[in-house]
Copies of this chain bind each other. A is one copy, B any other.
Amino acid sequence: MNIESVKKLLKEVKNGNVSVDEGAEKLSDLPFKDLGYALIDNHREIRVGYPEVIYCEGKTVEQVKGIIEFMNTRDNNILATRAAREMYEAVKETCPNAYYNELARTITVRKNDMKLTDTYIAVVTAGTSDLPVAEEVAVTAEIFGNRVERISDVGVAGIHRLFSKLDLITGAKVVVAVAGMEGALASVIGGLVDKPVIAVPTSVGYGANFGGLSALLSMLNSCSSGTSVVNIDNGFGAGYLASMINKL
C-alpha cells in the first residue's frame, strides 16, 4: 500500500532532493508503518477525545499520581481503573478536576467534551453485588464517548423485572450482561435480543462459585447464540469492546 510513498522517496533520492543518509534513515522507519504499526500507534496514541487508560492495581499511590499528573499536561481525557480512594486523594492535589467513582473504583479526568454516540450500550446487571463491575463497564464506555443505559438488578431469580426493562435492552446496539453466581442472565438476554451480547462473569457468590468460575463456564456454554465472554470481573475489557462495536 505504501509502495507509492516508497517510490516517491526513492525518486527524491535519485533527484538528490534527499541525501542517501536521510533516505536510509527514513526508510528504516517505514517498516513499522508498512506493517500496519500505524494502527497500533492509533490504537495507543492519544487522539482528541480518546482517553488515556491506567490500570492501577499493583501500582503505588505515587506512581498513579505521577502518571496522571504527566498525562494531564496533554489534551486527552484520562481513565484510571482499579483505583483506591487514596490514589484519588493524591491525584486531586495536582489535578483538581479529577473525579472518583467510588463504586467503579475509577478516576476520570474530562479535558474535552466528546459528542456522545446516538446509539447506546445497555449495561445489564443481575444483582446489586455485580454493580461495581457493571459501573466499570459503564464508566469505561462513557469516557470513550458512548451513551450508556444502566439496567440493574434484573437477575433471573425474579425474571419479571427483566421483562419490564426489555424495550430498553432491545433498543441498544450492543448489550453487556454482568452476572455472578450461575450467570444465567447472559443466556436469558441472549435468547431475547438479536444484538451482540458481551457477557462479564463476576466473582460474586460463595461456596462452589470458585471465584467466578461458575459464571464463566455458564456463559461460555450459553445455549444462546450471539454471546461472547470476557475475563472474570473485567469491566474495563467489556466496556472497551462494547465501545468498539457501538462505534462500528
Contacts and interface: CB of A to CB of B under 8 A. Distances in A.
Interface stretch (A69-77, A84-92, A110-118, A180-188): A180-188
Interface residues of A toward B: which range? 35 or more
A213 B203 CA distance: 17
A68 B208 CA distance: 29
Contact of A213 (B181, B201, B208, B233): B208
Nearest to A228: B228
Contact of A244 (B7, B31, B196, B223): B196
Q: Could you tell me the dominant secondary structure of chain A's interface residues?
A: helix
A151 to B, nearest CB: 13
B35 A223 contact: no
Contact of A10 (B20, B129, B226, B248): B20
Nearest to A16: B14
Interface string A225-238: 11111111110111
Contacts of A209: 217, 221, 231
A198 B233 contact: no
A24 to B, nearest CB: 5
14 contacts: A7-B21, A14-B20, A27-B30, A35-B35, A35-B160, A57-B206, A126-B223, A182-B187, A182-B220, A183-B218, A228-B230, A229-B229, A229-B230, A248-B248
Interface of A: 1, 3, 6-7, 10-11, 13-14, 16, 20-21, 23-24, 27-28, 30-32, 34-37, 39-40, 42-44, 57-58, 126-129, 155-160, 163-164, 166-167, 170, 173-174, 181-184, 187-188, 190-196, 198, 201, 203-234, 236-238, 240-241, 244-245, 248
Q: Closest 3 interchain pairs by CB?
A: A207-B232, A184-B184, A31-B31
Given A159-B188, A209-B217, 11 more contacts: A3-B28, A7-B24, A10-B23, A36-B166, A37-B160, A40-B159, A155-B223, A181-B222, A182-B223, A195-B244, A209-B231
